[in-house]
Every structure is written in structure tokens, then in C-alpha cells.
């Protein structure tokens, strides 16, 4: 076995890969044990790096900052104090759960953690135009997980959500985080009203022109809060990356609690490509209109026949009883189950024996095939992940007629990266989102395919490969990039070309950011300051 492992490090022939995969299949426990021992020797041979942790890190550790102050906000007054006590030009940035992989939240000035702003709030029906129906109000620091539970306790549910529930709602909204379903919008599309603190400490309620709040009743009840029922303001603040004030609370459109049935079917890129090119009169692939939710997962590396293995995931509202299927299975759990006992050294193993990645990815994806898994909506939509492993990713947003071009551009870049020793250690995920109105939402103005490319945290040069994907797709299509994921190659010129309403967005931000507090290294880098 040791000789095989050493040979795999030196060479990646089909014969060697086949031997390793056969060993893995015949004796998974023995394979895992041998790998752990091999990696332990490799670790012992290398001197450990000594790292002094900074004051704040995101969940993957790829972004870190030591601000001049790091404070916890638990109330509206804390947010007001944060900006009124800052000198003109001093940066004030809010940070939620640290789920953004980009530098979006970093500020060398003042950083404010919002985890303590997590309460469900009274709807105040007395200031609304009509009695509330399917409406929920809460503080912006609440996590999606806690929000789901609070909604469930009230017999309600999110209209849609992404595959993780650890983000703060304000962070998810501010980066236009999304689920999948071509008729379902990202988080900004569900927001009906929000309260925020401007750069001078003033408090504002922002809604669309036809907002839910009665101006006269609100002015009588809250004389110190300015009400803006203005489309430009609303389309700015609902996706502002922290640049348009500090979000305190949100009114969200929700729906009665519901169950979903999920099916996962093995297929190929060729089959999915044909279905994505079969479109209706509006240019929407017919496949996407046949289910409430559709997702396509792809191995970035082809099998021996040249095609790419794929999983088609569909989810629909159902009256079936909960049960069936396996649920809560994702790529990370699948690949861990393929090599028993290797959890703590998985990334090291993949770095050492990268030639196994294509085959392991296909095998892990095959184990995800499933049918008729039924549970409450947030349990089905939350993909889960092992607690001791993490991944980071890139996500590009393309129009429906650019899906094939974008995917095959990524395939080509993955092949080129493979020749350079750069590997992606997770499938590519295609998700579909309804058009957004928020000016800087990646989904603004068009039905959108979001193409997510993840890799395990710690993979050698994984960040470099994702950057190559990003640049190649931007150059080949009219892509936009998810603000909270990898976007290091994004330039001010890119942002200007991607967002036609950038000038309108900047105008509103200037009115809110009195004192110039809500900027940072990220906004300077991408040209939003």
C-alpha cells in the first residue's frame, strides 16, 4: 500500500488510479488507515507554521482583520452610537456570521458584530396600511437557522433559501444570497421594508414607493425615524454590501409552512446541456419551469468517455408524509463516507494524491442519488456539512442563453488548471433565480443561472484556480459575480460594465453615508467607494 501511495504522488496513470480506487472499494477501512499513517508521516516531516490569530476571522480563515475596535451590537442604540462616536472618515463596518469568503466585511477602523441583534420583533400593525398577512419582522443579525425556527414556531416558512443556514440575514440580504427556483427571487426580493442607521446616526425606514407602512401613522408613532418610500432607495439598500448604513431590522414576506419532496437523479452534462437548450418562448429552459426548485451538480472533470457526471436535483411542494430517501447528504459527507476515518486528513490526502480527485468526485456524487425525500422546507433546502470541514467558493451569475458557454469555459479552465497542478475538490452547482430589482444584485434585470464552484478549504492553490474560473467566465459572458464569495479578480471596470444602475446606487449611498463611514478595502478594490 505504501508503495502505491508513493507512486500516486509521482505519477497519475490510469493504472495507478485504478489500483487505488479498487483498494478503496475492496478495503475502505484499510485504505483510510494507510492514508492517515502516510499523511501523519508527511506532517511530521514538515515544520509547523506558527500563526498568531488576528482579532477577527471569517469561518474559513481566509479573511482576517485587526480593526482599531471590535464591538458587539445588541440594540438599535448600539448602532447609532457606533457611527456617532466615529470621527468623519473613520470606517464603520458591520459583520455577521463571517460566511463571506471575500474581503467584503473587513475594515481597519471599526467593526461591529451583530450576532446579538437576533430578536423577533412586533409587527406594529398600527403603523401599517393593512393588517399583516404572511409577514415577519426581526433584527438583521439573526441567523437563517434561528429565523427558520422562529418562523416554524409561528406556522410560517421562508419562501426560499440557500443551501446553508449559518449566515446572518442582513449579510445574506446585502450580498443577494439565493436558493434555486427560476420563479423564486434572492433574499432582497423577499424584503418589504427595513430600518437602518445612516452615517450621521439618524434612523431611516426604507420601502418601495408602494410600501407597507402608512406614512401618517408612522410619523405619529416614530417622529424621529425618517420614512423613505422610494424605489431608488429601496433598490439600493437591499443589496448594498454594508455601504448603505447599518441594518437594524427587516420586514420579510413569508408563507405558510410547507413540506418539500426532493429527488436526485444521476445523469450527464450532455443530457443536461440538451435540456438547458430546450427553451420556451421567454428563453427559459423548459426543465426549470417543471419544478419549484431545480439544481444541477456537475463533476468539473470528465470521465473516460469524455462526458461529465451530473446529478439533477428537483424539489416540489408536497402533501406526502415526511420520510423516504436519505436527506442531508451533500458532497462533503459523501466523499468522507468513501474513505472511512479520514476526516481529519482529507484535505492533506487530496493535496498529496490529487490524481484521485476526478474519480472520487464521481463516486461521491453517485452516492447522492436519491428519491422522494420529504421533510419541512428548511430541512430539505439546507444541505448541511460536516462541522470539522469547510469549503469556500466562487459564484458567477449568467443569463439563460449563456449557461452552456459559461459551464464549458469552466470545464476548459479546470482542464488547464489540472495541467498546472491546480484542482477543484468539489462539484460545480447550477442554480436558477428569478430576476431581481435591487440595483447591485447579481440577478438584477434577468432570470439568472448562478454557477457555484467550491473547493475544500486548504486545497493547494484552490483560490488561484477559482480566480482563473472567474476571469475566464467574465471575459466569455456577461457574467456578474457573487459579492460574498471569491471575487479577487473583479475590477472597477468590471463592476461598471455589469451594473447599469451603478450611478443611481452611488447617489443613494452618498445620501446615507454621511461622514464617509461605510467604505473599506473591498469597496475601494471594486470601485464602489
Residue 9 has pLDDT above 90, yes or no: no
Residue with cell 474581503: 103
Q: Is the pLDDT of residue 106 over 80?
A: yes
* Confidence (pTM): 0.94
Q: What is the pairing mode between strands 69-72 and 110-113?
A: parallel
**Residue predicted with more confidence, 113 or 342:** 113
pLDDT band at 388 (very low <50, low <70, confident <90, very high): low
Query: What is the model's pLDDT at position 48?
Result: 54
What tens digit of pLDDT does each residue of 179-200 get? 999 999 999 999 999 999 999 9
| 420 contacts: CB under 8 Å, gap ≥ 6 | none
423 is written with which cell numbers?
Answer: 484542482
For residues 250 and 137, is the Cβ–Cβ distance under 8 A?
yes
Q: What digits encode the pLDDT tens for the residues 285-300?
A: 999 999 999 999 999 9
Assess whether pLDDT exceeds 70 at residue 1: no
Mean pLDDT of all residues in 163-177: 94
Predicted local distance difference test score (pLDDT) of residue 381: 94
Q: Which residues contact 481 (CB under 8 A, 6 or more apart)?
A: 394, 395, 396, 397, 442, 470, 474, 487, 490, 494, 498
Judging by DSSP bridges, how do beta strands 64-65 and 56-57 pair with one another? Answer: antiparallel
Cα→Cα distances 164→99, 292, 454, 516, Å: 10, 19, 14, 33
Choice between 132 and 12, residue whose per-residue pLDDT is larger: 132
pLDDT of residue 292: 98
Closest residue by Cα to residue 1 from 25, 15, 26, 19: 19
**What is the spatial distance between Cα 482 and Cα 184, in angstroms, rounded to a whole number?**
17
Name the residue among 479, 505, 443 with its Cα closest to residue 176: 443
Question: Would you say the C-alpha torsion 418, 422, 424, 425 has a positive or negative sign?
Answer: positive
CA neighbor of 495 nearest in space, from 511, 479, 484, 509: 479
pLDDT class of 230 with cuts at 50, 70, 90: very high
For residues 330-355, give the mean pLDDT: 81
User: What is the band of 328 on the pLDDT scale with cuts at 50, 70, 90?
Assistant: low
Calculate the average pLDDT of the chain: 91
Quick count: other Cβ atoms within 10 Å of Cβ 307? Answer: 15
pLDDT at 35: 78
Question: What digits encode the pLDDT tens for the residues 16-66?
Answer: 777 777 877 778 778 778 877 877 777 676 655 555 556 888 888 888 888
- Tell me the mean pLDDT in the region 328-356: 80
- Per-residue pLDDT reduced to its tens digit, 114-143: 999 999 999 999 999 999 999 999 999 999
Instruction: Tell me the pLDDT band of 415, cut-offs 50, 70 and 90.
Output: very high
Burial of residue 37 (number of CB atoms within 10 Å: 0-12, 13-18, 19+): middle
Q: 156 Cβ partners below 8 Å, 6+ apart?
A: 134, 136, 254, 255, 256, 257
Selection from 18, 2, 43 nearest residue 347 by Cα:
43
For 32-46, 272-286, 389-403, which range has the lowest pLDDT when averaged over its residues?
A: 32-46
C-alpha cell, 274: 440538451
Percent of the chain predicted with pLDDT > 70? 95
The 3-state DSSP class for residue 339 equals: coil
Angle at which helix 2-10 crosses helix 14-26, to 10 degrees, equals 140
Q: Alpha-carbon Rg of the chain, whole angstroms?
A: 24
CA distances to 161, 403, 499 from 446, in Å: 19, 13, 12
Give per-residue pLDDT as tens, 63-98: 888 888 889 999 999 999 999 999 888 999 999 988
| Angle ∠(336,340,346) on CA atoms, nearest 5 | 50
Burial 416-450 (b: 16+ CB within 10 A, else e): ebbeeebbbbbbbbbbbbbebbbbbbbbbebbbbb
Residues 6+ positions from 51 with CB-CB distance below 8 Å: none
Whether residue 325 is predicted with pLDDT greater than 90 in this model: the reply is no
Domains and CATH numbers, the chain: 69-256+501-526 (3.30.465.10), 259-490 (3.40.462.10)
Angle between helices 28-45 and 14-26 (to 10 degrees): 120
User: With bands split at pLDDT 50, 70 and 90, how would you rate the model's confidence at 389?
Assistant: low
The bridge status of strand 92-95 relative to strand 110-113 is parallel
Partner residues linked to 453 by β-bridges: 394, 428
Half-sphere exposure of 275 (CA within 13 A, CB side): 16
Number of residues assigned to the chain? 529
Amino acid at each position: 500500500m505504501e508503495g502505491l501511495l508513493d507512486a500516486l504522488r509521482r505519477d497519475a496513470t490510469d493504472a495507478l488510479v485504478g489500483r487505488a480506487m479498487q483498494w478503496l472499494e475492496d478495503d475502505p477501512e484499510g485504505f483510510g488507515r494507510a492514508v492517515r499513517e502516510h499523511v501523519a508521516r508527511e506532517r511530521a516531516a514538515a515544520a509547523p507554521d506558527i500563526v498568531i490569530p488576528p482579532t477577527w476571522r471569517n469561518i474559513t480563515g481566509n479573511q482576517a482583520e485587526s480593526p482599531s475596535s471590535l464591538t458587539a451590537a445588541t440594540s438599535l442604540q448600539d448602532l447609532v452610537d457606533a457611527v456617532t462616536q466615529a470621527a468623519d472618515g473613520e470606517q464603520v463596518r458591520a459583520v455577521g456570521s463571517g460566511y463571506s469568503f471575500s474581503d467584503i466585511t473587513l475594515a481597519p477602523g471599526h467593526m461591529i458584530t451583530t450576532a446579538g441583534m437576533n430578536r423577533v420583533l412586533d409587527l406594529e400593525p398600527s403603523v401599517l396600511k393593512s393588517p399583516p398577512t404572511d409577514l415577519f419582522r426581526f433584527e438583521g443579525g439573526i441567523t437563517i437557522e434561528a429565523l427558520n425556527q422562529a418562523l416554524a414556531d409561528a406556522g410560517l416558512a421562508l419562501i426560499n433559501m440557500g443551501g446553508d443556514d449559518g449566515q446572518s440575514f442582513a449579510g445574506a440580504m446585502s450580498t443577494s444570497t439565493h436558493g434555486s427556483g427560476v420563479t423564486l427571487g434572492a433574499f432582497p426580493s423577499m424584503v418589504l421594508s427595513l430600518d437602518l442607521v445612516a452615517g450621521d446616526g439618524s434612523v431611516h425606514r426604507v420601502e418601495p414607493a408602494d410600501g407597507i407602512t402608512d406614512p401618517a401613522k408612522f410619523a405619529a408613532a416614530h417622529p424621529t425615524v425618517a420614512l423613505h418610500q422610494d424605489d431608488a432607495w429601496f433598490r439600493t439598500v437591499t443589496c448594498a454590501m454594508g455601504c448603505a448604513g447599518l441594518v437594524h431590522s427587516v420586514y420579510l414576506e413569508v408563507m405558510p409552512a410547507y413540506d418539500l419532496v426532493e429527488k436526485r437523479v444521476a445523469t450527464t452534462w450532455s443530457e443536461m446541456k440538451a435540456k438547458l437548450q430546450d427553451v420556451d418562448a421567454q428563453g427559459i429552459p423548459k426543465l426549470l419551469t417543471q419544478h419549484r426548485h431545480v439544481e444541477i451538480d456537475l463533476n468539473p472533470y470528465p470521465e473516460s468517455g469524455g462526458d461529465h457526471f451530473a446529478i439533477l436535483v428537483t424539489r416540489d411542494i408536497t402533501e406526502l408524509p415526511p420520510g423516504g430517501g436519505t436527506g442531508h447528504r451533500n458532497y462533503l459527507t459523501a466523499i468522507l463516507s468513501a474513505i472511512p476515518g479520514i476526516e481529519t486528513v482529507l484535505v492533506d490526502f487530496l493535496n498529496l494524491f490529487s490524481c484521485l480527485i476526478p474519480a472520487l468526485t464521481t463516486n461521491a456524487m453517485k452516492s447522492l442519488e436519491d428519491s422522494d425525500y420529504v421533510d419541512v422546507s428548511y430541512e430539505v433546502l439546507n444541505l448541511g456539512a460536516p462541522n470539522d470541514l469547510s469549503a469556500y467558493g466562487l459564484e458567477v451569475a449568467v443569463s439563460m442563453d449563456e449557461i452552456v458557454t459559461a459551464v464549458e469555459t469552466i470545464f476548459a479552465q479546470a482542464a488547464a488548471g489540472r495541467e498546472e497542478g491546480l484542482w477543484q475538490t468539489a462539484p460545480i452547482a447550477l442554480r436558477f433565480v428569478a430576476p431581481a430589482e435591487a440595483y447591485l444584485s447579481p440577478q438584477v434585470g434577468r432570470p439568472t443561472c448562478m454557477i457555484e464552484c467550491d473547493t475544500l478549504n486548504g486545497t493547494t492553490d484552490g483560490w488561484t484556480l477559482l480566480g482563473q474560473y472567474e476571469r475566464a467566465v467574465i471575459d466569455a459572458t456577461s457574467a456578474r459575480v457573487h459579492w460574498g464569495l471569491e471575487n479577487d479578480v473583479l475590477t472597477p471596470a468590471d463592476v461598471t460594465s455589469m451594473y447599469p444602475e451603478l450611478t443611481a446606487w452611488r447617489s443613494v449611498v452618498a445620501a446615507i453615508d454621511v461622514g464617509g463611514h461605510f467604505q473599506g478595502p473591498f469597496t475601494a478594490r471594486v470601485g464602489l467607494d
